[in-house]
Amino acid sequence: MSQALAARVRTISRIIISAIAVLVFLGDQATKAMVETYIPEHAVIPILPRFFNLTHIKNSGAAFGLFSDSPSVWKTALLVLVSAALLVTVAAIVWKSPRLQWESGVGLALILGGALSNLVDRIRVGRVVDFLDVYVQSYHWPSFNLADSAIVVGALFLILQVIFSE
């Protein structure tokens, strides 16, 4: 394989990045709608005993429920502004880079889709729906959703790109 072809194979285009981001956005919105329709708020549905439940939590805080107990009237506005600023930054990186290494491209796409989905929820209803409950014995990780998962996995892709870049 020539060097030019190998370099092309290792890169990802804006079209693919956009498609991944749209799939994350649509998947997150669909799963949140299903949870709101079929799982009563605060219900717990065991999936893998002693490890994983489905639940229905309305989260007015940041990722993983951070600041959800804060009574500040500015909390939602601040979360929307910070999310929007980060979303614009990530979109600008994608726009200015016509071809990215696949790790960076996938990472940015996952972050874009997840951040956009959570931002739309915060603007539309002032909160997000969290429904994934991972735990070991009595130690529960804060509930989260697919958008949160996509953002974390996207960040891991970017970290791997930095660590293992040539």
Catalytic residues: 130, 148
Write the CA distances from 118 to 38, 97, 98, 148, 161, integer angstroms. Answer: 20, 25, 26, 8, 25
CA 148-103-151 angle, 5° bins: 10
Sorted by sequence, the CB contacts under 8 Å of residue 39 that are 6+ apart come out as 45, 54, 55, 56, 131
Residue in the structure block whose two tokens are 């489905």: 54
User: What's the farthest any 2 CA atoms get from each other in the chain?
Assistant: 60
Separation of CA 11 from chain center: 22
Residue 118 CB: number of other CB atoms within 10 A?
A: 29
DSSP 126: S
